[in-house]
Structures are given as C-alpha cells and as structure tokens.
Amino acid sequence: MKNKKIPHYGKVKPINYRYIYEEQFYDVLGKLKLPLMIVIFTTMVGVLIFMIANNKSDGQSVVNFFFHTVISISTIGYTEGYSENVIMNRLLSAVFIIIAFPLGYMYGLVKTIQVLTTSNLDKIYRYWRMYKDMEKINDHFIITPFNEITKEIMKDFKKRKIPFILIEPDRSKEQEIQAFNPNYYVFDEPHKRAVLLGCFIERAKGLITAFEENTQDLAVIVTARLIRPDKDNFYIFATATTEGSAEKMKLLGANEVIVPQQTIGKRIVSLVLHPPSPIVSNFLNKIAFGERTDIDIAEVYVDENSWIVGKALKDIHLRKNTNTTIVAIVKPDGKMDIAPSGDTIIKAGETLLLLGKPVNVEKAKIYINKPQEVES
C-alpha cells in the first residue's frame, strides 16, 4: 500500500467557514431542545389524562383531546373534546391549566422566544449561505485587509467581474464591510495557513496584500508562497512603505510590489510632462490604472512554439480575427518597437503589447499562443 502524499504545506487543515455557522445553528437548536420538549411533554400529559379519565383511545377521541388541550392552554378559545362526565373533565381541565400553564407552557414558550430573539438566526443564516456559495469560487483573488487601497481594488474587480475573497482580521469593521457589500469575506488572520486554505488558495489566481504595517504583508506573503510556490501560476501583489521593504517582499515571493508614494509621484509627473494633451494623458492613465473597464492593454509573451513565430504582422491577421491592435513589440533586450509596421517579423521571446476590449484581449492571447502545426 502506497503512503498517502502529504501536501508541501504540512498537515494543516483548512478552516471550513460554512461549518462554523452550521455549528452555531445547531447550538441554537440545542438551546431550544429542553423548552420545546417541555411544551411537547406537557401537551402529551394533558392528552393522556383525558384519554385515561374517559377510557377512550380511538383516533377521533385522541384528536379531540389534543385539540382541547392546545386551545385550553393557548386561551384562544374553548371547545370541549368530550361529551360524557362533563363535570369531571372540566375539573381535570381546570387543574391541568393551573398546573401546566405556569410550570410547562410559560417556561417553555418564554424560553423558546428568548432563544429565538437573542440567537441572531438571520445573521447565522446569512453567513452560512455566503460561505456555502463561496465554496464554488475558482480562479479568484484573495485580498487583505479592508482599507482605502483594497476598496479601490475591489470596486474595479466588481466592475470587471473578477471574483475575490476579502480577509479582514478586525471584526469591528463588520458593519463597514457589509455596507461595502463584497460577495465574499471572512474575519480572520490572513497569515495563517488554515485561513488561506479555507479561502481556497489552492485554486486561486493570486493574492493582494496591502497592510499599513509591512511586517504583516511579509507574513502573508511567506505563508501564501509556502502553499503556492509557483510564481507563474499564482501571483502575489503587495504594497510597501519603502523601497527596502519592497525588495524584501520580492525576495520572499511577491511578483510585484508597489510603493504608493512613488506611484503617485510618477503619475503627477506624467501629467506635468503632457500639459498640451490632457485628454491623451488621462486616457492612457485610465487604461494603465484600470479605471476603464471597456478597454484593456496587456502583454503577451511569444513562445518559441507559437504559430506566429517567423511571420510578418500583416500575415497573422490579428485585428481581423480578434479585433485587437499591437501597439508595440518589446524585444528580449528590453528595447521597444512602437507602432510596428505590417512587415515586422515576429520572433520568439518577444512580448506583444495589445490594446482592445478585455474579452478581445483574452481571445488574442489564445490566438497568439496556438502551437505551430507539425508537418507530417
């Protein structure tokens, strides 16, 4: 018998957030068990008393006695479930109501109402339903924490319909997060392996961490990269307060790290350098920073097995087949050929910069990366 392979992240079990709220629901049911059993038991005792007193156990009589007991205790009306020994039955009814109402029904029903009004069943169900739906997520991003930076990220992700799960360690932000209304969110520590596994990091596309304290970002990056070591298949993006912190994050596994102060400064400089053409500058900034959802720019690496290697741009009919445009070609040495002509020959190792609608850009990536046909 072969030994079962242990995952590279150890024997850590993912947190099942749906199960947490299922347990809370069962806890509520557990609290209801005793008061409800008291109500049911008291009712059955009442039915048995009348059955024994009247020496009747046929179905019709049992139903009449049950109905008589219930409406007697509920005080909503009175229909006697007997036609013989009226005085005796009325005396039994009176004694039963005097004893059973305060001892059985009053406690049982009051306790039941108290449990239902203090257990937040609506909240438990809302979270349970969210985590049940979250289990179907795939190719998503994990975002942490909830702050002004990640708010902007999540807004754009919503516009582009990019799935994501928010992890926020501070439970006090619950109302603010609910008002923001992300599809999926958990309150937990994102640097813990069990938490990331519970957010399905194994089938996620990437992770974004933007804490104010870089030590927290470093912890998240290390944990995430431990679970998903392949940088080409799992992307980690982070923010840093200094260039030194950014370098550390890259060494520990982040694909890209942004220093907000530098990015803001460079954007202001770009506006300063292009005063005669604010429309063009604004347009390019919106594409670069993801503010436009109807147009996208993307890099496509040309693999040596791609069918377009060795062909001229005009011969691959990219615009005709995908409705995208090659705005530049980046050579392996970093040099850039802006607005290449149709006679430009495409070589392996080059990177094509494509401009077009997001859906067409994705189509172009598939079109470009088709393998060469092998001649038989």
Pairing of strands 325-330, 336-338: antiparallel
Chunk the chain into consecutive blocks of 10 residues (it has 376) and report each block's average pLDDT, rounded to whole numbers.
52 86 80 76 80 80 76 63 66 70 69 73 87 93 94 89 94 93 94 94 94 90 92 92 89 89 74 60 58 70 88 89 89 86 90 86 86 53
- Give CA–CA dist 40/105, Å, rounded: 9
pLDDT number for residue 223:
93
DSSP state for residue 212 in the 8-state scheme: S
- Give CA–CA dist 341/326, Å, rounded: 10
- Give CA–CA dist 262/200, Å, rounded: 33
pLDDT number for residue 190:
94
Show Cβ contacts of residue 118 under 8 Å, excluding neighbours closer than 6 positions: none
Strand partners, 196: none
Show Cβ contacts of residue 258 under 8 Å, excluding neighbours closer than 6 positions: 237, 238, 239, 240, 246
| Among candidate residues 345, 353, 350, 351, the one with its CA nearest the CA of residue 312 | 345
| Among candidate residues 226, 229, 228, 253, the one with its CA nearest the CA of residue 238 | 253
Question: Taking the model in full, what pTM does it have?
Answer: 0.64
- Give CA–CA dist 38/108, Å, rounded: 6
> Helix H segments across the chain?
17-54, 59-74, 86-100, 107-118, 121-134, 148-160, 174-180, 193-198, 214-227, 243-252, 260-273, 278-288, 313-316, 318-322, 358-368
- Give CA–CA dist 21/186, Å, rounded: 12
pLDDT number for residue 376:
35
